[in-house]
Chain A
């Protein structure tokens, strides 16, 4: 009877789910934000989508504490950071100043959106990256689904930065939020939080 129970696919599925090692979560460094996120921080092995109307709102700052911690704590597991198609040239003094290990930092400049998506898929699934950032103007759902699968395979945090106008399109990202700024406060609007609480958070981020 027990054997019959164990043979039941649903039980196996459930067991498999609970036995899976917990994915590491990187605290954002902002308790108000952590409180809304499952596990209390940025998830890994999945895709996060950031929607912004304009660059320079603090979209990188929001992730930097997690990036630096992931590089430090992965200890020799080659925690590479890969930035694909950033809107401007990443400035080494600023990154080094904040604690990013530039020896494991890679910039990729693809010639087209398709190549950018391909590069992101490669980096996410390689198992060599702590986080992969992709700045993208478009991108269809089929491609984004591939990126999410690649992130799940490689265990990396995938961050997709897109213009705010994509907010009403459906997206496979397990965490989606938009950023805006009003008088010195940064508003993070959590549109979709798998396993957490959607909502709006005001952060005191410069």
Chain B
């Protein structure tokens, strides 16, 4: 038994609550999985918010079970993530115990069923339908379920369910897929001499940029970002983020954006070493490559690359937010019908997506950020007059920003053509756009 026990897997489960729900990549769970890999080579994801770690092999390195568990728990705390954890001889059992909030440490498979028996069946992450059917036959906690005759359960819930229960109690196999960390380019370069001029720096970084491009080429992958860290002897490190308009692995584009950054960089001190790290790798596919080029041949592809380089150069100097596209949105409220697009989808997107207005409905080229009050009540006299309208726009009643407006095209005495509206509730007149 002891020999057998030593070779049996032992599972640590952590259930995170709540995980920061960012749309960023890598996903938060992946980041935590990468961090957990310092404790064991076998980490497995349990989406949406849990991980399981096989820790039998780690005991030799990190000491007795209890201190290993404390150590992993402390690691979550250190990065400010709240986790409930448990250790059990089966991965599902560890997850059940962790979800129940029991700081359990169970090593002996024989003791497992007894330790699980009082857990409510809600700790299993089973779907609502299954839970409902179980409750209908009087099952409240796992112990109730394990006492039921297996043949009857198999008939009602299928043979898979029996296998699942066996796996839970460490009586049967429960294969899991190991998490494989996504590949990144990450290279550090110590310079032979300290570099004090940016012109020299761009030469010195050339080979590393070239290696990064080769690394990506070999994987048929590209990146949207590269991070560059320049270390100095007597000053905090200088950090640069090279952003690209789309996924690329092209060394010339890397060079172009780097040159733009370096041209504006003032080094606080000579540079001793540099670290170049890629963001998450993305596959260069037909979708991420360039659609114009694919459709129209090599010349167009070259010209399109020119457009991407232009966007990257503008962004490198003016900032990401200062360079954007606009897109029409299917919204009745005029101020919500247009939005800035920073992630330029240079590919797909039908030309007139989300367009609600017909060709003959007047819409101004300029929209003011906020409507400007022209007159609080009745129609103002004097420097402008109505030429066309009204067009009634009422919408948004389902949210707080509901509007009820009559829009007109008006002409200012100086000749400007304006888009104005009268708010129907207050009777006030507002300027909202300019036809230019």
- Is there a chain B Cβ closer than 8 Å to A110's Cβ? yes
- Contact, CB under 8 Å: B300 / A102: no
Q: Tell me which of B299, B323, B326, B364 contacts A102 (CB under 8 A).
A: B326
Expressed in whole angstroms, the Cα–Cα distance for A128 and B300 within the complex equals 10
Collect the chain B residues with CB atoms within 8 Å of residue A104's CB.
307
- Contact, CB under 8 Å: B436 / A59: yes
Q: Tell me which of A59, A107, A111, A128 contacts B324 (CB under 8 A).
A: A107
Map CB proximity to B onto A96-117 as digits: 1 under 8 Å, 0 otherwise. 1100011111111111000100
- Contact, CB under 8 Å: B317 / A115: yes
- Contact, CB under 8 Å: B417 / A93: no
Q: Tell me which of B304, B307, B367 contacts A88 (CB under 8 A).
A: B367
Q: Tell me which of B355, B358, B416 contacts A57 (CB under 8 A).
A: B416
- Contact, CB under 8 Å: B368 / A103: no
Q: Which residue of A lies closest to B318 (CB)?
A: A110
Collect the chain B residues with CB atoms within 8 Å of residue A31's CB.
none
- Contact, CB under 8 Å: B325 / A88: no
- Is there a chain A Cβ closer than 8 Å to B363's Cβ? yes
- Contact, CB under 8 Å: B303 / A89: no
Collect the chain A residues with CB atoms within 8 Å of residue B364's CB.
91, 94
- Contact, CB under 8 Å: B310 / A97: no
Tally of A-B residue pairs with Cβ under 8 A?
A: 178
- Contact, CB under 8 Å: A126 / B318: no
4 A-B pairs with least C-beta separation: A181-B415, A76-B296, A56-B416, A88-B366
Collect the chain B residues with CB atoms within 8 Å of residue A111's CB.
318, 322
Question: Secondary structure at chain B's binding surface: helix, strand, loop or mixed?
Answer: mixed
- Is there a chain A Cβ closer than 8 Å to B309's Cβ? yes
A/B interface sample: 25 pairs, CB < 8 A: A55-B416, A57-B417, A57-B436, A58-B436, A75-B296, A78-B300, A88-B367, A90-B326, A91-B326, A91-B364, A92-B327, A92-B337, A93-B357, A97-B358, A103-B346, A106-B325, A107-B324, A108-B314, A108-B318, A111-B322, A119-B318, A122-B310, A123-B310, A129-B310, A186-B415
- Contact, CB under 8 Å: A180 / B355: no
Collect the chain B residues with CB atoms within 8 Å of residue A119's CB.
314, 317-318
- Is there a chain A Cβ closer than 8 Å to B356's Cβ? yes
* Interface residues on chain B, size class: 35 or more
Expressed in whole angstroms, the Cα–Cα distance for A181 and B361 within the complex equals 23
Q: Tell me which of A60, A76, A180 contacts B297 (CB under 8 A).
A: A76
Q: Which residue of B lies closest to A119 (CB)?
A: B314
- Contact, CB under 8 Å: B433 / A91: yes
Q: Tell me which of A96, A110, A115 contacts B351 (CB under 8 A).
A: A96
Q: Tell me which of B366, B416, B435 contacts A90 (CB under 8 A).
A: B366
Given contacts A92-B328, A97-B355, is CB(A128)–CB(B310) below 8 Å?
Answer: yes
Q: Which residue of B lies closest to A179 (CB)?
A: B415
- Is there a chain B Cβ closer than 8 Å to A77's Cβ? yes
- B residues with a Cβ closer than 8 A to A are 292, 295-297, 299-300, 303-304, 306-307, 309-311, 313-314, 317-318, 321-329, 334, 337-340, 344-346, 349, 351-352, 355-359, 361, 363-369, 412, 414-418, 433-436
Q: Which residue of B lies closest to A104 (CB)?
A: B307
- Contact, CB under 8 Å: B306 / A127: yes
- Contact, CB under 8 Å: A93 / B366: no
- Rounded to whole Å, the gap between the CB of B178 and the closest CB of chain A is 42
- Contact, CB under 8 Å: B352 / A96: yes
- Contact, CB under 8 Å: B366 / A54: no
- Rounded to whole Å, the gap between the CB of B421 and the closest CB of chain A is 14
Q: Which residue of A lies closest to B306 (CB)?
A: A128
Q: Tell me which of B303, B313, B338, B369 contacts A92 (CB under 8 A).
A: B338
Collect the chain B residues with CB atoms within 8 Å of residue A89's CB.
326, 338, 366-369
Q: Tell me which of A87, A92, A96, A126 contacts B310 (CB under 8 A).
A: A126
Q: Tell me which of B297, B324, B434 contacts A106 (CB under 8 A).
A: B324
Expressed in whole angstroms, the Cα–Cα distance for A141 and B351 within the complex equals 38
- Contact, CB under 8 Å: A106 / B366: no
- Contact, CB under 8 Å: A78 / B412: no
Collect the chain A residues with CB atoms within 8 Å of residue B412's CB.
54, 56
Expressed in whole angstroms, the Cα–Cα distance for A80 and B414 within the complex equals 32
Q: Which residue of A lies closest to B434 (CB)?
A: A56
Please provide the chain A residues from 182 to 201 with a CB less than 8 Å away from any CB of chain B in the complex: 182, 186
- Is there a chain B Cβ closer than 8 Å to A32's Cβ? no
